[in-house]
Structure 1
Amino acid sequence: MSWWVVKHVDAEGPALIGTIMTERGIEYTVVSAASGDPLPPADAVTGLVVLGGPMDAWGDVAHPHMQAERELIAECLGRDIPVLGVCLGAQLLAASQGCAVYRGPVAELGAGEVIATEAGEPVFGPDRILVVHWHTDTFDLPAGAVLLASSNLYRNQAFRFGSGLGLQFHVELTPAQQPMLDAHMPAGTAPSAQVLAGVAEDGRKILETFFDEAS
């Protein structure tokens, strides 16, 4: 058994998440769901990370692997296996519990902040944390989920549900990913390397806490 990282865009990888796992001696396997790589069975999973992508979390016709991902996430949660969902991964985490995922009021793109709820303050507060926004969809929270952070535009930015942590935003990005963001984000929205250094500093706290709790 090992950790698995599911990615949806060839240019994107686990970035700081992978760095932290390597630092902790956590072995992990990266699979590209959009390229047709098979997903692992839940009984082969120690922990699961689901990264972002432009797909619709319920877009099974265009992207048949979405159903398999939702089912894997749901089974992992049912077995109390740690699941970290980032951006699309957070939407899939909610969708795995039957929740709606739908277009938000406006696109939220580029450098930004999220603000902790009272429940999220131990990890996401007490101050605002720097993040990268890169999404147009939002979602309903599963029954029993705990909202951890919000932004001015999107209420559901971070949540805990059982063994799962959903992050609508990106904190795994570091200055090393700045060229990729320049190439793939809409013109004028990619954060600078200086901003990404701050995002990674705040992100490390969040990600370290997740892996502390997962161990």
Structure 2
Amino acid sequence: MMKRLLVLQHLEREGLGLLSRIAQERGLIVSIFRLDLGDSLPELAKGDLVLILGGPMGIRDINHPSFPWLLDEIEFIKEALNKQVGIIGICLGAQLLAYASGGYVEALLGGTPPKPLPEVGWDTVSKSPGAKTDSLSSLLAVPLPVLHWHGDRILLPSDAELIASSSRCKEQFFKIGSLAYGMQFHIEIEDEMVFKWIEEDSDFIRSGLGVDARFVLEEQQKEFGDSTLQSRLMLLEKLFDLISA
């Protein structure tokens, strides 16, 4: 029996990227739910996998009238956790996963004196010394360059396992329970996605990188997009192995 991959999407530009390739190779039935467009959340069934994608909204937008679906999405995530459904949360998806498990977020600080400063652009994530998930840790034995695009840091619930961190943000990659993983960074991206983000999210990237943000990100994408592709695919493949167990 073919498994379903239930995709919770919050914005047109933040789509599946490389995850579409992996789902196809594994013969998964992909069902996308555009919560921002009013789609209803699905009923969970045995064997389902859940993918929660990113978006510019956040935990502090819960109860905001522009995002009435956030509360229902959090309840859906809690149900998936209770039913031991495999989950991958990316960026906003990671924040929602942590929040549904008792965590929260706060503004990511940087500079001197410290002030809210987004983490935007390519930088490495490295294995946490206390990480217990050996099959993932081995893939991060050498720091992996990934794309960052966020203004908050996650305050993890006490029972979460931290897997990897970046130089600016400790809570980059984590595990909750036995089948749920959150990544604050983006390993699913493809070139055309990033160039669209640069075009459509200009104010945000300038807040993190200054007036040259577009040039910096375009050059970084040329440097790291292709060179990290196989490493990113290997990490995604391993994640799907783990949540399908």
Normalising by structure 1, report the TM-score: 0.92
Contact 2:59-2:104 within 8 A present in 1 as well: no
- For 1:144, the equivalent position in structure 2 comes to 159
Q: Size of the alignment, in residue pairs?
A: 215
Q: Note the 1:103-142 alignment, pairs <5 A.
A: 103-105=107-109, 106-118=117-129, 119=131, 122-123=135-136, 124-142=139-157
Q: Measured at CA, do residues 68 and 200 of structure 1 come closer, stay the same or move farther in structure 2, by a change above 3 Å?
A: farther
For residues 127 and 176 of structure 2, what CA distance do their matches in structure 1 show? 16
Cα displacement (A) at 1:178? 3.6
Q: Which residue of 161, 166, 169 corresponds with 2:182?
A: 166
Cα displacement (A) at 1:58? 4.0
Contact 1:172-1:200 within 8 A present in 2 as well: no
Cα displacement (A) at 1:45? 6.9
Contact 2:121-2:147 within 8 A present in 1 as well: yes
Cα displacement (A) at 1:30? 1.0
Please give the per-residue CA displacement for 1:57-107, whole angstroms capped at 9, x wherever unaligned. Answer: 242222121111111111111111000000000000000012121211121
Contact 1:132-1:199 within 8 A present in 2 as well: no
Q: Which residue of 75, 80, 101 corresponds with 2:84?
A: 80
- For 2:210, the equivalent position in structure 1 comes to none
Contact 1:121-1:148 within 8 A present in 2 as well: no
Runs ≥4 residues deviating over 6 A: none
For residues 201 and 176 of structure 1, what CA distance do their matches in structure 2 show? 17
- For 1:33, the equivalent position in structure 2 comes to 35
Name stretches of at least 5 consecutive residues in structure 2 with no aligned partner.
Answer: 110-116, 206-212
- For 2:237, the equivalent position in structure 1 comes to 208
Moved more, 187-196 or 149-158: 187-196
For residues 20 and 29 of structure 2, what CA distance do their matches in structure 1 show? 9
Compute the RMSD of aligned alpha carbons. 1.8
Moved more, 136-145 or 114-123: 114-123
Question: Is 1:65 aligned with 2:76?
Answer: no
* Equivalent position amino acid for 2:188 in 1: E
Normalising by structure 2, report the TM-score: 0.82
For residues 210 and 13 of structure 1, what CA distance do their matches in structure 2 show? 18
Please give the per-residue CA displacement for 1:141-175, whole angstroms capped at 9, x wherever unaligned. Answer: 12221100001111100001111100000000122
Cα displacement (A) at 1:202? 2.1
Cα displacement (A) at 1:117? 1.3
Is the partner of 1:112 in helix, strand or coil?
strand
Contact 2:54-2:90 within 8 A present in 1 as well: yes
Name stretches of at least 5 consecutive residues in structure 1 with no aligned partner.
Answer: none
Contact 1:159-1:167 within 8 A present in 2 as well: yes
For residues 43 and 24 of structure 1, what CA distance do their matches in structure 2 show? 18
Contact 1:3-1:46 within 8 A present in 2 as well: yes
